[in-house]
Structure 1
Amino acid sequence: MRISLRAGEQIYVNGAVLRVDRKVGLDLINDVAFLLESQVMQVGDATTPLRQLYFIVQLMLMSPHDVADSKSLYRDHRAAILLVTENADVRLGLEAVEELVEARRYYDALRKIRALFDVEHAILNGTPVLDAAQVA
């Protein structure tokens, strides 16, 4: 996989933070866990239940040696979300996230959670949300 970074940009690779001082291209040749700086959520941005779940899964990816504590927190938080939501898209999305987390595919789990942010936003703002079942 080839990744292009701008000067001053950071990338998180297997728990390490790398900052480049000039525009550079990186070839990731083997299987690595990485996040681009733009994909990293800061703790102050984890203001909703799904954003908090994203932050927790992000910890699993960025700190591969401390996954046990993050996974326990993830399980509790995911269970709490499932207790309070009836939205089919969120429930199905969290099922898929669970499978990805169990397979240690944290990057894919983050993508799946990010895809649910718009649904969560609509729910929290009281705007109509069409479930996948309602669209079909």
Structure 2
Amino acid sequence: MSLKINLAQGESILIGKAKVQNGGAGRCILIVSGSENVLREKRIMRERDATTPIRRLYFVTQSLYLTDDKPKLFTLYHQIAREAVAAWPMLAGAVTDVGELILVERYYDALMACHTLTEVERGLIEAAAGGGAAAEAAPG
């Protein structure tokens, strides 16, 4: 099965471990065949940007999605998941849901669930900085 990807000028994606960028003057269409995982630029997090507990969880989940050497990352994932729950106890259920997706090897779905959590965490941080009630931002 093939995946058709439409890239804007300058946009990049990861295909497995390779970064592919549209260097042309306009849009381009890529047809990707095979079993490599694909991740659009807007979903890619660099390690230096993993600065909060949930962002670190996202980064390690992204690494699980993109790598073939998953066993080495499982221990790190569990450690970071515990740290994230310790930092944000109200997100324990959502973090558990991400872990369950990983257990059944649905890594992309786990990554998208983590992406949602990064938005929730951002809201919690903003609410804490502003003194507002953060409990409303937690997923139900």
- Give TM-score scaled by structure 1 length: 0.79
Deviation of residue 55 (structure 1)? 0.6
RMSD between aligned alpha carbons?
A: 2.2
| Matched residue, 2:121 | 120
Note the 1:63-82 alignment, pairs <5 A. Answer: 64-82=67-85
Query: How many matched pairs?
Result: 130
Percent identity between the two aligned chains? 27
Distance 1:100 1:132, change over 3 A: closer
Tell me the SS of whatever aligns to 1:41: coil
Secondary structure of the residue aligned to 1:7 is coil
The TM-score, its normalising length taken from structure 2, stands at 0.78
Q: Greater shift after overlay, 113-122 or 44-53?
A: 113-122
Paired residues for 1:5-44 under 5 Å: 5-22=7-24, 23-29=27-33, 31-44=35-48
Instruction: Find the aligned partners of 2:47 and 2:38 in 1 and give their Cα distance.
Output: 18
Q: What does residue range 79-94 of structure 1 map to in structure 2 within 5 Å?
A: 79-87=82-90, 90-94=91-95
In structure 2, give the amino acid aligned to 1:67: K
